[in-house]
Amino acid sequence: MESSSGYQNLTETVDRKISNTFTAKRQAQDFEMSNVTVVPDETYTVAQAVDAFGFGKFQVKLSLFTGLCWMADSMETTILSILSPTLHYEWQITLFQEALVTTIVFLGMMLSLPFWGSFSDKFGRKPALTLCSVLLFYFGILSSMSPNYTWLLILRGLVGFAIGCSPQSVTLYAEFLPCKQRAKCVVLLDCFWALGACFEVLLALIVMPTLGWKWLLVLSTAPLLGFACVCPWLPESARYLVASGQTDKAIDTLKKVAHDNGKPMLLGRLVVDDIVLEEKNGRFTDLLLPQLRVTSILLWFIWLVCAFCYYGIVLMSTGLFESGNNNRICSANLDGDIFKTVQTCTAESHYLTTHDYIDLLWTTLAEFPGIFATIYVIDRFGRKITLVFQFTMFAINLIFLFQFAKNRVLLTITLFFARGIIAGVFQAVYVYTPEIYPTPLRTIGVGTCSAMARLGAMVTPYIAQVLLKSSFTTSIIIYITAALLAAIASSLLPINNERNVKEYTEKD
């Protein structure tokens, strides 16, 4: 019995030691595994990694880098509304030549889209943005040295060509955003656009009265120089790296994201996301398939009108404020003589005054409430309803210009609301368009819409800068009509709320 009891005690002791050893090993493994995240199938994609790491320090830094590029883009665009009337006075160019200075920039942007898309696909987002910033800075400086109108057109066209790469910064930014925060962060990124526009007007207020437009062109490149300096620290797209077979570099980039955000790195093997592979299959003709044809045509028109109205109100604001000083717009036209063109109305031009710049700054500040209001409204009432409402309100707002154009305070208030509303429309279409297209067609769908926006921006100077000087009523009616037609087109779009997107795209 004692022997049996001793054997039993020995067995229990051994079992206990084995159990303790196993428990210690398991605790050690648990401690070790707490520093990593395990993906059940032992593989993970870039999108899964980014979602696991969440929004943190890495995304905050990338927001500032990307915002600097977006800010520079905005400044180079905003300067057009200030540069054109000044050149009209100094170089005695015609109104059509004045409008062409704006048109040539957007033409360069539109022509450059295929080039920058192919370049970034072949060499990566980071090299494309680096080259873009250097070219934009270089041609921006050269523009200030233009000896005549022809050289200015050539150099500003090259500036537009370089600006065409700036949307790649948003693409890079979005690829490092967790899915839940992506839409709001991309929209909030446009605050940098509004900030750039405001900064450009402030810079013009300080520089133009003393140093002139050439120094304004030079100093406006400052954000570009800043962005070029931070480009070495800009991360390459992990999705691009893994899709191009550079898996080790992609893992290093993801480790950097995890480290900055204080999150554990994923265990397993990094694989190419199916979405990345599918995105290469999109073709332009697919946008005109029966189930997508109407949607594509509606979106092309909406984007065209959106850019037409947005840049129209920007250019129109300068013309209307300037007219208060030198009567460049005839009172007969303000009173409703639609088709009568009076040549003496454009006989003289003058510089914008300090008062003009301050009022222009007020209208530019409208973009901030416009962006935040759109974020609030779009989540509660849906994409389609937001677009219909904003286009309609924009048209109604322009009607008040017929009564308020001669009153400086009321004119400024009217233009403030108009600019805020149309800036919000831009945010709404940016949110809606990527959602409506199936994944394989998302890139080509957004790209074609962006091209239509450039076309609208190319046309609008001839209304806001040329026709406005001869027939105020006709030009305003054109913008009102375009906005109302865009509201009708928005009401015909197939989905309204985000929850309808998955059902619609799966059906297609």
Answer for the pair 494, 292: CB distance below 8 angstroms, yes or no.
Answer: no
Q: How far apart are CA 161 and CA 101, in angstroms?
A: 14
Of the listed ranges 118-127, 255-264, 364-373, the least confidently predicted one is 118-127
Predicted local distance difference test score (pLDDT) of residue 274 = 52
Residue 114 has pLDDT above 60, yes or no: yes
For residue 275, what are the CA distances in angstroms to 46, 219, 442?
A: 11, 42, 10
Average pLDDT over residues 486-493: 93
Main-chain phi, psi angles of 271, to 5 degrees: -125, 160
- Lowest average pLDDT, out of 9-18, 101-110, 307-316, 462-471, goes to 9-18
- Give the pLDDT score at 343: 42
Give phi and psi for 270, each to the nearest 5. Answer: -75, 125
Mean pLDDT of 472-479: 94
At 209 the three-state DSSP class reads coil
Name which residue leads in pLDDT, 25 or 363.
363
Side chain identity at residue 408, one-letter code: R
Residue 166 has what pLDDT?
Answer: 81
Helix (H) or strand (E) holding 265: strand 265-270
Provide the angle, in degrees to the nearest 10, between the axes of the packed helices 293-326 and 354-365.
Answer: 150
Cβ(317)–Cβ(363) under 8 Å? yes
Q: What is the pLDDT of residue 445?
A: 81
The packing angle between helices 149-163 and 95-123, to 10°, is 30
Task: Return the axis-axis angle of helices 95-123 and 57-90, rounded to nearest 10°.
Answer: 150
Residue ranges in 327-407 assigned as alpha helix (H): 331-334, 354-365, 367-381, 383-399, 401-404
CA–centroid distance for 298 within its chain: 20
* Listed range (176-180, 406-410, 456-460) with the worst mean pLDDT: 176-180
Tens of pLDDT, residue by residue over 425-470, are 988 888 788 778 876 677 678 878 888 998 999 999 999 989 988 8
The yes-or-no verdict on residue 329 having pLDDT over 70 is no
43: left (phi over 0), alpha (psi -120 to 50) or beta: beta
231 phi-psi bin (left φ>0, alpha ψ -120 to 50, beta other): alpha
What is the chain's length? 508
Q: Are 355 and 390 in contact (CB under 8 A)?
A: no
DSSP single-letter state for residue 336? T
Assign 270 to helix, strand or coil: strand
Where is mean pLDDT largest: 9-18, 134-143, 499-508? 134-143
Q: Residue 318: what pLDDT?
A: 85
Distance of CA 11 to the CA centre of its chain: 72
CA–CA separation, 28 and 126 (whole Å): 41
For residue 446, give the nearest of 311, 301, 299 by alpha carbon.
Answer: 299
d(CA 352, CA 388) in angstroms, rounded, equals: 35
Mean pLDDT of 262-278: 71
The proportion of the chain whose per-residue pLDDT surpasses 70, expressed as a percent, equals: 81
Q: Return the minimum-mean-pLDDT range out of 131-135, 322-326, 416-420, 460-464.
A: 322-326
